[in-house]
Amino acid sequence: MGIFLLIFLTAGITTIALTFGNEKVQSIAPNVGNQREEFSKLYSTYDTLKKQYYKDVEDSTLLNGAINGMVQSLDDPYSDYMTEKEAGNFHQSISSSFEGIGAEIQEQDSKIMIVSPIKGSPSEKAGIKPNDIILSVNGKSLQGMSSTEAVTHIRGKKGTKVDLMISRGSGSDPIKVTIVRDTIPIETVYAEMLPDGIAKVQVTSFSENTEKELRTALEKMKQEGMKGLVLDLRGNPGGLLDQATKIASMFVPKGEVILQVEDRTGKKETFKSENNGEFKAPLVVLIDKGSASASEIVAAAVSEAADVQLIGEKSFGKGTVQTAQDFKDGSNFKYTAAKWLTPKGNWIHKKGIKPDIGVSLPAYANLPYISPDKELKVSTSSAEVKAAEEMLKAAGYNPGNTDSFYDQKTKSAVQKFQEDNKLEVTGTIKGETTIKLMGTLREKILKNDTQMKKAVEVLKNEVK
């Protein structure tokens, strides 16, 4: 009986749902009771709490807690129990849109970590980066929460604000990031023709229509004279596996292995390319630490089965398979059921995929977010001041020493920046000045995309 896999882009993590043939996974309540001695402690605890706890406790509270405890005991960030509300968020995440900040998260070491912000989302615009740790949401600590539980606090209606306390890197001070939630559309393919016939196509996730979007984009690029393609999978946290395998099949020769799935017994299921030969142009693929799960499947497939060069930074490293099961009451749980391997049998879990050509973005691309609500002025000394000085320097303004101290030279640089951008000249960094400074830096990062430049350079040598 064949295995059919779906990698869901969830609000918490990129997961894989697993079914066998056409059979649906259904919840089965085994007849345990007194027939199973190992459950005696569980039932004894339940009975004691129901009869002797100092106040009434709902049956559902105790049962949900018991299930949640079993799943948490696995110490696996990809296995999780979801209440009805959390399960609703899980299913909504694979729809055409949702309302929130637009970031992929996962639980790691009892902390909530950003896998990647979604392109064009409020979180990306606010400067959220892969590997950022969300310490709290609106003052509520996320320590020890599952990713799906954290999502219920992070998500909210369009137009509402949410305050995140973010930790970035060891030794850095936590920073407060205020984000206005918005509708997050699942538009996944962005195409652009660069000079010399080089097409740049970014795939931000693998949703229901990604393959169709990509085919449309490639046809458009072909009509515009495409000679080579840069497939950009940076910041892509994953999505539906059927989309990933179809996309990998566009570039991997027919019959070649795209990936393997291995269960607990060592039995492997192999997925092969169904390529019909539609894509012939030279190709390179960009990856980074935000490339995870399904995007790693595509990257590994084209690298090992089609000799396509990977450029950028080592990928995230998620190589496990999850199955999701719904209960009749609307709750849900998912657990790791298998692991996936690359065409050559490599397991990239917690290792990531190392690019053939390693290229980092400029140092200023990793500068921390500065809250527009915080005022930086003469005599201020903080990590935010140092970040602002680095931003000014990157934008072409001389703040003097980037030493975390806001002196007169820093003030002069800020005044010049404000004059050039038609802002109120105050010499302090706050509000519109902060927003404009971070926006200017973002534009510079896009213009000086060292990874993309290297990819174009490699392609130009191939298309001559």
Which residue bears the tokens 């310490």?
135
> Which pLDDT does position 35 carry in this prediction?
64
CB 284 within 8 A of CB 230: yes
Per-residue pLDDT reduced to its tens digit, 263-282:
999 999 999 999 876 788 99
> Which pLDDT does position 403 carry in this prediction?
93
> Which pLDDT does position 107 carry in this prediction?
83
Average pLDDT of every residue of the chain: 87
Indicate whether 261 pLDDT > 50.
Answer: yes
Banded model confidence at residue 115, pLDDT cuts 50, 70, 90 = confident
pTM for this prediction: 0.77
Contacts of 351 (CB under 8 A, 6+ apart): 317
> Which pLDDT does position 422 carry in this prediction?
96
Indicate whether 30 pLDDT > 50.
Answer: no
**C-alpha angle with apex 281: 277 to 284, nearest 5 degrees?**
110
**How many residues would you count in the chain?**
464
Instruction: State the CATH architecture for 367-447.
Output: Orthogonal Bundle (1.10)
Q: Which among 158, 114, 120, 163 is positioned nearest to 138, based on CA atoms?
A: 163
Gap between the Cα atoms of 250 and 15, Å rounded: 23
Per-residue pLDDT reduced to its tens digit, 380-413:
999 899 999 999 999 999 999 999 999 999 999 9
Q: Which of 88-92, 153-157, 221-225 has the largest mean confidence? A: 221-225
- Exposed (0-12), middle (13-18) or buried (19+): which is 307, by Cβ within 10 Å? exposed
Give the chain's largest Cα–Cα span. Answer: 81
CB 268 within 8 A of CB 260: yes
Banded model confidence at residue 464, pLDDT cuts 50, 70, 90 = low
For the domain 189-320+339-362, what is the CATH code? 3.90.226.10
> Which pLDDT does position 171 carry in this prediction?
66
Per-residue pLDDT reduced to its tens digit, 167-182:
987 767 788 899 999 9
Tokens of 284: 């390179």
- Region 440-451: mean pLDDT is 93
Task: Find out if CATH 1.10.10.1800 is the number for domain 99-185.
Answer: no
Sketch the domain layout of the chain as residue ranges.
3-87, 99-185, 189-320+339-362, 367-447
CB 362 within 8 A of CB 451: no
- Region 415-438: mean pLDDT is 96
- Catalytic positions, written as ranges: 293, 304, 318
Banded model confidence at residue 16, pLDDT cuts 50, 70, 90 = very low
Q: Which of 113-122, 127-136, 449-458 has the largest mean confidence? A: 449-458
Comparing 97 with 316, which gets the higher pLDDT?
Answer: 316
Gap between the Cα atoms of 448 and 237, Å rounded: 23
Contacts of 188 (CB under 8 A, 6+ apart): 203, 204, 205, 206, 207, 209, 210, 213, 239
262: β partners: 268, 339
Per-residue pLDDT reduced to its tens digit, 320-354:
988 888 888 888 888 999 999 999 999 999 999 99
Contacts of 33 (CB under 8 A, 6+ apart): 39, 43
204: β partners: none
CB 5 within 8 A of CB 241: yes
Per-residue pLDDT reduced to its tens digit, 351-388:
999 999 999 999 999 888 888 888 999 999 998 999 99
End-to-end CA distance of the chain: 48
